[in-house]
Amino acid sequence: MSLTTPKIAFIGAGSVVFTQGLLADLLAFPELRGAHIALHDIDPERLDTARGAAQFIADERTGRDGDGPRPRITAHAERRAALSDADFVINIVQVGMRESTRTDFEIPARYGLRQTIGDTLGIGGIFRALRTFPLLKSLAEDIAEVCPDAWLLNYTNPMTMNIQYLAQATGMTRVVGLCHSVYWTVRDLSDLLGVPHEEVTYRAAGVNHQAWLLRLEHQGADLYPRLDALIAEDPQLRRRVRVDMYRRLGYYPTETSEHSSEYVPWYLHHDSEIERLRLPVGAYLDIVDENVAAYEQTRDALAKGEPLTVEGTMEYAPQIIHSITTGTPRTVYGNVPNRGLIDNLPASGTVEVPCLVDGGGVQPTRVGALPAQCAALNRTYLSMNDLVVRAALEDDPRSIRQAAMTDPATAATLPVERIWDLCDDMVRAHADLLQPSLRATLGH
């Protein structure tokens, strides 16, 4: 596949800070500077801000004058217009925005249920998925009609549930979920160990936000013994959840301690563990406020004609687009249906594995079997995912409650009657964003 001027549609472009970083990465590739960037958002102000920011980045990266290629930037209130004849679709929609996120934290907190990020598993992850699924279904239907050959590159969480839903509800095959956790875990460990990250070779696999570094080497030497020595010497390192998990499981997990603490039953339920491991309960609410402030800063700077400070983010979507467009081979980490990629995880689940990318598209690689202890945690994670997706596919509100019962952190905190009560309260709060069949309250 070779596209001299690909059309790239941004769905949810009003997530302006993330859009800016992706555009900076895209336009760093000379071959992509003539691309058509089609922006869509349902919020007119955010869409206008995204358009202004995109134009600024285009001017900075490609020059306001001169004979070189320049991107075409269009903004669309109507989604199908943005999607029409697109070659790539980047989904960064957050359904419900800040208000729904606050609900995801505030109602569980009344039940004594602690969350740190709440976007992947747990009550927060369940209801973020359920209010995202209707958007994903309609987006997939539009893609099938107006750009059927496009690749859908999804950044919207909860990643694993969203990709499983897309595969099972829509039959999409040209879809991959993207997350920067593997890349930045390796970067951070390289810095910690004092080795150049570009010289580190590694292999990871598992599920999104709970994959495992199966191999970590520098010039052929295993880096895990050096990491062990650092951890033994530094008591502060031992006050991190994922270091604690690594010491006990033998493989380093690929997401932050805040995230990692939510996917297991061992930490958030215990005051002593929150103190020992310095866990910031409710941290994501601060992040949401910071994102809103960053958006407002961008909006105000554009209105005043002030320059924006935009740096590249090393995200995978621009790399995938460049590889498919130019045929340049590279490896990224993607979230895709399992289908035999990891032997000891469910075939229906979404797994995160190395993917080869070139002019032929995104090609996941087979990993084989994970270490038994790592697969055991991943299977619990995927079992909960499966019940959430089943709720939507089968119009079964009981499956929502069963998913919450299966979730490790929720089950460690609440008895089943309280879990069902909590789900009823969450359904009432989010009802307008859920598919109608899932709006029922069930009691005990």
Q: Give catalytic residue positions.
A: 180
- The number of residues in the chain equals 444
Please give the backbone phi and psi of residue 61, each rounded to the nearest 5 degrees, phi first: -85, -30
Q: For residue 148, what are its two tokens? A: 């059927």
C-alpha–C-alpha distance, residues 396 and 387, integer Å? 10
Q: For residue 298, what are its two tokens? A: 């961008």
C-alpha–C-alpha distance, residues 39 and 13, integer Å? 6
Q: Tokens 């970590």 sit at which residue?
A: 216
3-class DSSP assignment, residue 73: strand
C-alpha–C-alpha distance, residues 20 and 298, integer Å? 10
C-alpha–C-alpha distance, residues 384 and 396, integer Å? 15
Residues 6+ apart with CB under 8 A from 69: 5, 30, 33, 34, 62
Chain centroid offset of residue 366 CA: 22
CA distances from 112 to 214, 241, 268, 405, 414 (A): 36, 21, 10, 15, 8
C-alpha–C-alpha distance, residues 407 and 139, integer Å? 28
